[in-house]
């Protein structure tokens, strides 16, 4: 499937601009829209390659930067120690409320795009946590979180996020994927997340743990990348988003 790709600037309700990429299958057919959150490195080619693969399954995909308010606005970071440090510093500079405000702006933009039907969300690492919070929005029909960090302890940005305690606000379908070898979300943390979701009444959900998967196993750069698990994750995300059709 051929794709059309463009860079856009999303106006926020707070007055700043959010840089984003919109990837759309060629053709005017109405299709679901997916808000895709990046990891701490923002709009890298690695993340965009994953977004293109998702778009090729028939979705319009909107990929916004997650740090549009400071020195990392418009910056795609390198996958090295300096890039990691800058990405973590960017996260630490963002209050949870700022992430939430930017999410509203991104969803407003996505829902206003021509031909968008259902609104879906996904994300990776910190983006998986942001995707989880995006599921609080009643417009979101389904969410897939890939190895979300910080759900178990509220670590997201400059403060402690109330994500798990708000799990009962989620009305759409939810699917979470972890790797069994992820040091950021070990077995006890995964159990804590699942227990909290059940306690919130979210029994109709899916949580998968991929054997051997390390953190960021879907990032196609570096030793942790697992192509087989990446393919599996994308297939299962597409199947989930399409209602197992």
Query: Could you tell me where the beta strands, DSSP code E, fall in the chain?
Result: 3-11, 17-25, 31-37, 60-64, 116-124, 140-146, 173-179, 206-210
Whole-angstrom CA distances from 158 to 88, 90, 161, 186, 228 are 10, 9, 9, 23, 35
Cα-Cα end-to-end distance for the chain = 19
* Spatial separation of the C-alpha atoms in residues 15 and 13, rounded to whole Å: 6
* Spatial separation of the C-alpha atoms in residues 161 and 146, rounded to whole Å: 18
Positions annotated as catalytic residues are 125, 182, 215
**CA dihedral defined by 150, 155, 158, 159, rounded to 10 degrees?**
130
Give Cα 138 to chain centroid, integer Å: 17
Is residue 141 within 8 Å of 235, Cβ to Cβ? no
User: In the structure encoding, which two tokens stand for residue 79, read together?
Assistant: 């996958």
User: In the structure encoding, which two tokens stand for residue 184, read together?
Assistant: 């950021």
Q: For 129, phi and psi rounded to 5 degrees? A: -65, -45
């Amino acid at each position: 499937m051929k794709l059309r790709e463009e860079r856009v600037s999303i106006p926020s309700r707070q007055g700043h601009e959010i840089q984003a990429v919109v990837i759309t299958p060629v053709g005017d057919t109405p299709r679901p829209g997916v808000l895709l959150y990046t990891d701490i490195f923002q709009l890298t080619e690695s993340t965009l390659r994953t977004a293109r693969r998702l778009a090729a399954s028939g979705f319009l995909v909107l990929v916004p930067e997650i740090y549009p308010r400071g020195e990392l606005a418009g910056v795609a970071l390198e996958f090295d120690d300096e890039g990691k440090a800058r990405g973590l510093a960017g996260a630490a500079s963002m209050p949870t409320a700022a992430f939430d405000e930017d999410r509203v702006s991104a969803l407003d933009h996505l829902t206003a795009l021509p031909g968008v039907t259902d609104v879906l969300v996904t994300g990776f690492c910190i983006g998986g946590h942001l995707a989880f919070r995006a599921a609080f929005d009643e417009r979101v029909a389904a969410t897939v979180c890939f190895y979300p960090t910080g759900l178990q302890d509220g670590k997201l940005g400059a403060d402690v996020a109330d994500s798990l305690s708000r799990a009962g606000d989620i009305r759409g379908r939810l699917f979470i994927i972890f790797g069994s070898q992820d040091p950021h979300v070990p077995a006890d943390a995964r159990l804590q997340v699942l227990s909290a979701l059940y306690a919130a009444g979210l029994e109709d959900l899916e949580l998968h743990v991929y054997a051997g998967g390390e953190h960021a196993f879907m990032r196609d750069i570096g030793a942790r990348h697992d192509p087989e698990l990446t393919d599996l994750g994308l297939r299962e995300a597409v199947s989930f988003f399409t209602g197992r059709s």
